[in-house]
Structure 1
Amino acid sequence: MIRAATLADIPALVSLEQRCFATDRLSARSFRHLLTRGHASLFVFDMQAELQGYVLVLFHQNTSMARLYSLAVAPEGRGKGTGAALIAACEQDALEHGVVSMRLEVHINNAGAIDLYHRLGYRDFDVFPDYYEDHAAALRMEKPLAPNLAPDLSPVPYYGQTLEFTCGPASLMMAMKSLHPQLELSRRLELRIWREATSIFMTSGHGGCSPYGLALSAFHRGLHAELFAPCDAVMFIDSVRNEEKREVIRIVQEDFLQEIHRLGVPMHERHLSLPEMEQQFRRGAIPVVLISAYRLTGDKSPHWVVVSGFDRRFIYIHEPYVDTAEGQSETTCFGIPVAHKEFERMRFYGSRRQYATLLLSKGEP
């Protein structure tokens, strides 16, 4: 039986460590800390009141990645599926914590463990030299924890923005590529779309992209673009204090709106509900959504993401901004699971609760 570990399990956990590992053992003090104050989950495999194995996962606060820190199976319990069962339990628990991917380190000479991880879907991505007490290297491995997180299964390909202010073009490009797989994604295209859709100014730096400008960029490339956004408020103007810059933002938005009305781009002055969004997604449309970045990154800025999947608990989004300084990779920004209620809160930006969703689908042949 697999269950969550308790403080009463500590003596058996320490005994298991001594039987399974010659070096780098966890102490009773470490187990006590992890069970009481550590940001971790610890599951044990209990067979007739005797611990046959455990798995320990560490969660990284404010990131969507977890670390499978340790897996131990008693010698007499090996070859019976115990390790695989423990890993499945910790992966499910991590997914329920909103984790995007699981990473781990394994002794470079532990062929049995490496083979198990490979069979369970983990892939090598790095080697860490002189990692263990015996100076052996560690093989670093990673696995996405849901089908929507796997690049080869997601209906939406990934493209990371290359500049701080190009989340809109990057999100639009991912949606465009999903609808037209032959499209080549490049930095040239990213910058071209930014020039077409920018609001010129925003906060203290370059402007991001207006929902109206992004809708026009998609329309001019032959896609059916349907926009859900207000017309009576100037988007992003509250982020700029200088009145001259504010006037520029007003003029740009007015120009975008005039072109939208002239071309007949469908526009609805209302918030698109999540049930409607999911229904349209399942019909083949790809939603590009404006969110408040604060709930995702802690930054109080408007931010564009693309929706890549739905299930009963989560909406999956591709986050175009890869913060390499925080150890992120495309894997950690691909198909981030966001609980339905949390995603609904994300979809309103600023004190005026501004919103925008751009639904893209294939245009008429």
Structure 2
Amino acid sequence: MNPVFRLAVVEDLPALLALEQQCFTTDRLTSRSFQWMITRAHGRLLVAQRGEQLLGYAVVLFHRGTSLARLYSIAIAEQARGSGLGKQLLERIEACALEHDCAYLRLEVRIDNPAAIALYERNGYRRFALIHDYYQDHADALRLEKRILQHRDSRNINVPWYAQTTDFTCGPACLLMAMGALQAGRMLERREELQIWREATTVFMTSGHGGCSPQGLALAAARRGFRVRLQVSMAGPLFLDGVRDEHKKDVMRLVHEEFMAQLGTTDVEQVLGGPLDLPRVLNDGGQP
């Protein structure tokens, strides 16, 4: 008899908790967590049932205002493993995400769970980040992503998503995504996000952290073996207007001058001024 798939209800709580105990030794969902997901979460909790027996569940959460969905948890009862139930739950979760206009589905999985990793990769999920010390027992996690909505004008390059982990590393996060798109299998890690920021920042302020200059980011990419074309609308260091102290402005100018000197020793192509003809770039195969 084929399993029946449906939305979970509060009456499923005992069976869900029993399944959680059977499948996981750490990071278990509690009764309160399950109840929230069933009654109030912006997401879906699907269960697979045969007769009176709960064989598995999967939770997908949606992020308001974004095209991202997250597979929060999936569990398969021991007696149902190897039957294709995991694939069936994934397909239904992806369908739920599509109904909510999501283009991408992301998930985390323990790095020491090869069976789960194989399931996801067989079904089109791509590794794009390694997160250290993610679980309660300090195990690392792989972050995977799948594009579930294919636009008609979808380009050949699949750009992995990486969310910046600080308020001041938007540039390094963008560079990580670009490098991940151009170099298949490249891990997007926080340690490199912060390292690129250290290499590329020029800002010197009384408080807070500074952002990155385009020259610093170009150098960071070139050091990692990428061919770079740098186009800027103005010469000189950015963000000077945000600093009042002349000594600090001098430091920023010196850092910028050193970046320019280093760029002169590389094959980075530099373009000053001129409009960036985005329609032409996109028509030529460029991808944001």
- Fold in common (TM above 0.5): yes
The whole-number CA distance in structure 2 between the counterparts of 1:68 and 1:130 is 19
Residue type of the partner of 1:115?
A
Give the equivalent residue in structure 2 for 1:47: 50
Query: Are positions 1:89 and 2:92 aligned together?
Result: yes
Q: Which moved more, 1:107-116 or 1:58-67?
A: 58-67
Whether 2:110 is the aligned partner of 1:107: answer: yes
Partner residue in 2 for 1:80: 83
Unaligned runs of 5+ residues in structure 2 are: 160-169, 172-226, 235-270
1:154 and 2:177 matched? no
Q: How many angstroms apart in 1 are the aligned matches of 2:232 and 2:158?
A: 15
Q: Partner amino acid for 1:147? A: Q
Could you say which structure has the greater relative contact order, defined with CA pairs below 8 angstroms and 6 or more residues apart?
1
Secondary structure of 1:147 counterpart: coil
* Residue 126 of structure 1, CA deviation: 1.1
Shift of 1:95: 1.1
CA–CA separation in structure 1 for the residues paired with 2:12 and 2:92: 18
Q: TM-score, normalised by structure 2?
A: 0.55
- Say if 2:58 and 2:93, in contact at 8 Å, map to a contact too: yes
CA distance in 1, matches of 2:26, 2:131: 17
Partner of residue 63, structure 1: 66
Please state how far the C-alpha of 1:60 moved relative to its aligned partner.
1.4
Deviations 1:124-167 (A, max 9, x none): 11111111122111111111113339xxx9357689xx99xxxx
Q: Read off the aligned partner of 1:127 and give its amino acid letter.
A: L
Q: Given that residues 155 and 287 in structure 2 are in contact (C-alpha distance below 8 angstroms), is that contact kept between their aligned partners in structure 1?
A: no
Query: Are positions 1:4 and 2:3 aligned together?
Result: no
Q: 1:73 corresponds to which letter in structure 2?
A: I
The 8 Å contact of residues 57 and 75 in structure 2, kept in 1 or not, is answered as yes
In structure 1, stretches of 5+ residues that fail to align are: 164-183, 198-213, 222-285, 287-307, 309-317, 321-365
Aligned-pair distance for 1:106? 0.6
Name the structure with the higher strand share. Answer: 1
Give the match for residue 37 of structure 1.
40
Query: Shift of residue 63 of structure 1?
Result: 1.5
Alignment partners' CA distance in 2, 1:157 and 1:53: 35
**Distance in 2 (alpha carbons) for counterparts of 1:118 and 1:144:** 13
Q: Secondary structure at the match of 2:12?
A: helix
Q: Is the 8 A contact 2:19 2:77 kept in 1?
A: yes
* Change in 2 beyond 3 A, CA 1:147/1:23: same
- TM-score computed with the length of structure 1 as normaliser: 0.44
Among residues 102, 120, 123, which one is paired with 2:123 in the alignment?
Answer: 120
C-alpha displacement of 1:185 = 9.8
Q: 1:104 to 1:121 in 2, by over 3 A?
A: same
Q: CA deviation at 1:190?
A: 9.8
- In 2, distance between residues paired with 1:110 and 1:98? 30
CA, structure 1 residues 118+96, in 2 after alignment: closer, same or farther (shift >3 Å)? same
2:140 alignment partner in structure 1: 137
Question: For 2:19, which of 13, 16, 34 is the aligned residue?
Answer: 16
Distance across 2 between alignment mates of 1:129 and 1:68: 19
Please state whether the residue corresponding to 1:132 is helix, strand or coil.
coil
Quickly say closer, same or farther: Cα 1:37–1:78, change in 2 above 3 A.
same
3-state DSSP of counterpart to 1:38: coil
Whether the 8 Å contact between 2:44 and 2:60 is mirrored in structure 1 is: yes
- RMSD, matched Cα: 3.5
The alpha-carbon deviation at position 65 of structure 1 amounts to 0.7
- Contact in 1 for aligned 2:103/2:150 (Cα 8 Å): no
Distance change >3 Å, CA 130–CA 185, structure 1 → 2: closer
Counterpart-to-counterpart distance in 2, 1:124 and 1:145: 15
| Aligned-residue offset at 1:100 | 1.7
Q: For each residue in 1:53-80, what CA deviation from the matched residue of structure 2 results, as whole angstroms up to 9, or x when unmatched?
A: 0000111122111111100000000000
Matched letter for residue 32 of structure 2: R
Identity of aligned residues (%): 43
| Consecutive aligned runs of 4 or more in structure 1 exceeding 2 Å deviation | 146-149, 153-159, 184-192, 194-197
C-alpha spacing 1:189/1:109, structure 2 compared with 1 (3 Å):
same
Distance 1:77 1:195, change over 3 A: same
Alignment of 1:96-245 (within 5 A): 96-148=99-151, 154-155=154-155, 186-188=229-231, 195-196=274-275
